[in-house]
Amino acid sequence: MNTSFFISLITAVFIGGSAGYVGSLMTTKKMSLVGDVLSHIALPGVGIGLLFGLNMSLGALISLILGVLLIWWLGLKTDLSMESLVGVVFVLSVAGGFLIIPEEELLHALFGNIYAVSMMDAVVAVIASIAVLIVAKMIYSKMMLASVSEDLALSSGVKTSKYNLIYLFLIAIVVAFGIKVGGTIFTSAMIIVPSATARNMSNNMRQYSIFSAVIGVVSVIIGFTVFLFLGAGLGSSAIGPIIALASIVFFAISLLFRNR
């Protein structure tokens, strides 16, 4: 196990845990596909970063922040659902990203590059993941109330537009710092699948959020283990799909568990 592999593993473990935890809110709000779509909003920033020699994660974060602000602003100006607004910005981002990103780097943008993560990337990703977990924990009850009834949340003094913006920022951070390891495929998989799996296995919301984070972490560890022994010949971009498949295996197991 070389240093690059270990650094990527540590980064992915923290990103996987925070993505799973944040994803539990997304599934509860019936916005699972938003995580997948939102992750692709990073593509123009990745392309600009590659063209101008900037850090890929920094470019992705800038792109995601601008995308989130645009979605939030459109939400204030229209009556369209969050899913519709994210879809509009998704089309803009994917089209722009594919035109900007050099063809030889496109695979890494979509699926990641296990050897592209530096020690500084790992440190920043760990700090960012911890911050995401803390903030998500702080807003969890308010987001849950809004998911049950937005009118009830408003009457209780919860500013739903404010917390929706914070929530979208949390997703943006997870995506931006996970993109080097597994690309947009990895980050969207880690947001959606662990939370869907945990929902089949949980009896209450506390279990649900914790299981989501744990499944995210375990999926990463298994994915890296499989890559270490079997996937090296597939290339550095294979880690994202392997992790995604590992999380799908857990989802399949959870279905069997649920049917008992």
Strand residues in 2-117 grouped as ranges (E): none
Show me where the domains of the chain are located. 3-259
Per-residue pLDDT at 213: 93
Per-residue pLDDT at 214: 94
User: Helix (H, G, I), strand (E, B), or coil: what is residue 185?
Assistant: helix
Of the CA atoms within 13 Å of residue 24, those in its CB half-sphere come to 31
Per-residue pLDDT at 32: 56
- Residue 200 to residue 208: CA distance in whole angstroms: 9
- Residue 166 to residue 114: CA distance in whole angstroms: 29
| HEC readout, 121-139 | HHHHHHHHHHHHHHHHHHH
Residues of the chain with pLDDT under 70: 1, 27-36, 104, 145-160, 231-233, 257-260
* Topology given in CATH for the domain delimited by 3-259: ABC transporter involved in vitamin B12 uptake, BtuC (1.10.3470)
Burial tier of 86 (Cβ tally within 10 Å: 0-12, 13-18, 19+): buried
